[in-house]
Structure 1
Amino acid sequence: MDAFTRPYWDAAAEGRLLLRHCAACDRPHHYPREFCPYCWSEDVAWRQAEGRAVLYTWSVVHRNDLPPFGDRVPYVAAVVDLAEGPRMMTEIVDCPEADLRIGMDLDVAFRAEADVQVPVFRPRRPS
């Protein structure tokens, strides 16, 4: 966390997912950068995301010696397509491996890690 990413982490602590959005080309992007990766404009700002995604791909990690991951194995490392368009690396929670499906609908959730809330995704529950 630094001064640039502080708004992202502050929003996560409130249960909100932020993306960077370019005013010049009207495209969102993730991971947070101070410039647009599409048109290189520096006219970018934070916008709240819907918090919805679909599963693009995943892998079940059975061994990871790096803290804090080693205490959580096995876990599902994933790439999701956010409703706004960008892809995001994340973790899928509250879902048995056998139930994972490409294209499944997901909602953002947040897990406490040290001093921050980390965005993770879980299957969308019927409304």
Structure 2
Amino acid sequence: MIRPMVNRDSAYFWEGTQKGELRIQSCNACGVLRHPPGPACPRCGALDRGYVVASGLGTVFSYVVHRHPPIPGKELPIVIALIDLDEGVRMVGEVADVADDEIEIGIRLRVDFNRVDDDLTLPVWNRAVEETR
């Protein structure tokens, strides 16, 4: 399996997935949220970073269906989506339970976590089951 790169900008994110949390980097100076994470705030330039725990809900903004080439440890096809999180940032992720011929822009998704081993837990996305009132 191809493993993600973990560095000082992203370590908090991967520590969160181990705990079942989807974390989004925040600026402690001005409050702006950003993903992917980086060293400096894009709004104010501050280096004082923190994070918030996201609700884990979002909407498919765009997607691709990966059919070839093969990826070690994965069964094809793989649905990869760009997800608009309810918190206002976008995140790329694998959609696990929506078939390649059923995925659509606008589908609501919720995050789940796939524990690969003791050192790696990956966020995966499933169709959200939301209450109607």
User: Does residue 35 in structure 1 map to residue 40 in structure 2?
Assistant: yes
Distance in 1 (CA, whole Å) between partners of 2:104 and 2:8 is 37
Aligned residues, how many?
125
1:64 maps to 69
User: Does residue 105 in structure 1 map to residue 77 in structure 2?
Assistant: no
The superposition leaves residues 4-48 of structure 1 with CA deviations (integer Å, 9 ceiling, x where unpaired) of: 433221210121110111133321111122211233221221211
TM-score, normalised on structure 2? Answer: 0.82
Compute the RMSD of aligned alpha carbons. Answer: 1.8
After TM superposition, the structure 1 = structure 2 runs for residues 1-127 of structure 1, keeping only pairs within 5 Å, are 1-68=6-73, 71-114=74-117, 115-127=119-131
Distance in 2 (CA, whole Å) between partners of 1:5 and 1:80 is 19
Distance in 1 (CA, whole Å) between partners of 2:16 and 2:96 is 20
Q: Which runs of 5+ in 2 are unaligned?
A: 1-5
Moved more, 100-109 or 51-60: 100-109
Q: Which runs of 5+ in 1 are unaligned?
A: none
Distance in 1 (CA, whole Å) between partners of 2:63 and 2:9 is 29
Opposite residue 27 of structure 2, the aligned amino acid is C
